[in-house]
Structure 1
Amino acid sequence: MVDNLSVIITTYNKEEYLRKVLLGFTTQINKNFEVVIADDGSGNKTKDLINWFTENSNLSIKHVWHEDNGFRKCEILNKAIVESTYDYLLFTDDDCIPRADFVDVHLKNAQKGRFLSGGYLKLNKEVTDSVLDENIISQEIFRKKWLLQHGQEKSYKLGKVSRNKIYTLFMNLITFTKPTWNGHNVSGFKSDIISVNGYNEDMFYGGLDRELGERLVNKGIVGKQVRYKAICVHLDHPRPYRNRELLLKNRARRKQVREENIVWADNGIDKYK
């Protein structure tokens, strides 16, 4: 368990979704955190939104921005890590709304030599379009009944929003999903991330988070499953930035990391320290 953490939220020109995510963080039962926005070149609408939350909410926010020069998520993440205050970091995205106990779960389950790997419940477009501010504040969007009423498909995946502690403990123990470093719901110690030189800035969309996690595992820092404990819902949206050639390149890099037991990213965070 740790006392404080920095929440690092990646964003790029999705201010309406980011607004809902930030609203979710205003509901947190544990207030011992700051928010660091890792902004990969968004325009003034995002800046205005962040300024509004800084002035009108209970959130302590840092806005780390660089010029829009193509997909540079790894670079802005490394810059945000350097700017973060606390030595425990929780990473998520601008399309993932956290449940009110999200931060608390990560703080209470933090463990030396481990990173925490969570998941999400992916909302369909119908439900995504139905989410209003009051549904986030009331936490209705984390209730199975509300989700079904608004068009979410019946599925075992709805168990991810269960608040039954015995169920969540059991599911985390038996799930076949391996704990991985992901971009939507993962946390770890800043010192561990820096020890492998942070995110690899030669990586593009598709597996860039996993690659960092695989280097952490090679270093001896292994994942711990909190898939059914640390809960967020993922808003639906298209992904026009998918690029098959770059995806294949990323997969080849990850394969090399695993086979050669690579720990250090040559093009990483050390240039910003």
Structure 2
Amino acid sequence: MSSISVIISTYNQPNQLDLVLAGYVCQKFSGFELIIADDGSDKRTLDVIKAFRKNHDLPITHVWQEDDGFQKTKILNKAILKAKSDYLIFTDGDCIPRDDFVATHFSLKKPNCALSGGYFKLNKKVSSCIDKSLIYSQECFEKNWLISQGQEKSFKMTKLSRSAGYAKTLNMVTTTKATFDGMNVSCWLKDILAVNGFDERMAYGGEDREVGERMVNNSIKFIQIRYSAICLHLYHDRPYKNDSFIKQNQAIRSLTRKNKIIQTPFGIVKG
């Protein structure tokens, strides 16, 4: 049995997924499994996964559903049921984990809590420069390398520090609220099952935050680790962004908060 299940959502980004998987090969922590939550990708994604299985011993499960528009919540619920561990990390197929990513989530996990991690967003130019050699060497996580390739200098680069003490201090003083951000969050399997997983009515825009709000309604505390658990977010367009769906999602979230809803009837178990 794996110590942690890492659930990676993806849709037709095989090149980016290939880089993300390279990041998991580099992990200092062992004993975890990968679950690819695939929202209808074509054969190119399957080819990436087949090549990974051929070249690496890290357990990887491919959970796929037919392409029917943005149905990320549905595939994530299916992926949750495939988990072989009692603790889950949720992330995306465009987020390359630093080599201490899984170890950080594992070491900081606590009962009745979820961990809200961070990410460093790369611009389009720098994203195009990333290759596996830079991931294996971890050079792409170095501030000086990023700046040399055209990444803008900003305070957000403090996320790239490897000082555990510095990260802990920043986690304590940040004004950013700890939430369920699907790019980098972890929780106990039993806690997400208790709220019946993701609400499958929801398309893009806050669908991950909503499941976290129901977990909070069920007395789960979110802990801020945005400066401790780090991944690089590769640049991409968002053609699935739709204002009407975002408005619908906001209405669902409003009811969740107002009525202190814990379980959605539109989740893993229907009705």
Please indicate, yes or no, whether the TM-score normalized by the shorter chain is above 0.5.
yes
- Distance in 1 separating the partners of 2:245 and 2:40: 21
Q: Is the 8 A contact 1:115 1:223 kept in 2?
A: yes
Aligned partners of 2:68, 2:264: CA distance in 1, in Å?
22
Counterpart code for 1:129 = S
SS in 2 for 1:20: helix
**Map 1:117-196 → 2, pairs under 5 A:** 117-196=116-195
CA distance in 2 between partners of 1:190 and 1:68 (Å): 26
Counterpart position of 1:197 = 196
Please tell me the residue identity of whatever aligns with 1:152. Q
Query: 1:250 is matched by which residue type in structure 2?
Result: N
- Which residue pairs with 1:56 in the alignment? 55
Return the alpha-carbon distance in structure 1 between the equivalents of residues 58 and 144 of structure 2: 30
Separation of aligned partners in 2, 1:174 and 1:48: 44
1:28 match: 27
Normalising by the residue count of structure 2, what TM-score does the alignment of the two structures yield? 0.98
Structure 1 equivalent of residue 9 of structure 2: 10
Counterpart residue number, 2:255: 256
* Whole-angstrom distance in 1 between the partners of 2:135 and 2:215: 34
Give the superposition deviation at 1:164.
Answer: 1.5
Gaps of 5+ in 2: none
Correspondence for 1:88: 87
1:114 and 2:113 aligned? yes
Letter in 1 for 2:143: K
The Cα shift of 1:69 comes to: 1.4
SS at match of 1:97: strand
Aligned with 1:178: secondary structure? coil
Q: How far apart are residue 55 of structure 1 and its match?
A: 1.4
* One-letter amino acid of the structure 1 residue matched with residue 91 of structure 2: T
Query: Offset of 1:205 from its aligned partner?
Result: 0.4
- Distance in 2 between the 1:166 and 1:224 partners? 16
Please tell me the root mean square deviation across aligned C-alpha atoms, in Å: 0.8
Distance between the aligned counterparts of 1:47 and 1:152, measured in 2?
32
Count of residue pairs the alignment pairs up: 269
State the alpha-carbon separation in 2 of the partners of residues 270 and 112 from structure 1: 24
Q: Residue type of the partner of 1:153?
A: E
Question: What amino acid maps onto 1:4 in structure 2?
Answer: S
Q: Where does residue 101 of structure 1 map in the other structure? A: 100
TM-superposed CA distance for 1:214, in Å, is 0.2
Displacement after TM superposition at 1:58 (Å): 3.0
Letter of the 2:154 partner, please give it: S
Gaps of 5+ in 1: none
Task: Say which SS state the counterpart of residue 54 (structure 2) adopts.
Answer: helix
Shift in Å at residue 255 of structure 1?
0.9
- The answer to whether structure 1 residue 223 and structure 2 residue 238 are counterparts is no
CA–CA distance in structure 1, aligned partners of residues 119 and 74 of structure 2: 24
Partner residue, 1:78: 77
Q: Counterpart of 2:112 in structure 1: which amino acid?
A: G
CA distance in 2 between counterparts of 1:130 and 1:67 reads 32
Q: Which amino acid aligns with 2:198?
A: Y
Q: Deviations over 1:83-109 (max 9, x none)?
A: 111110000001000000000000001
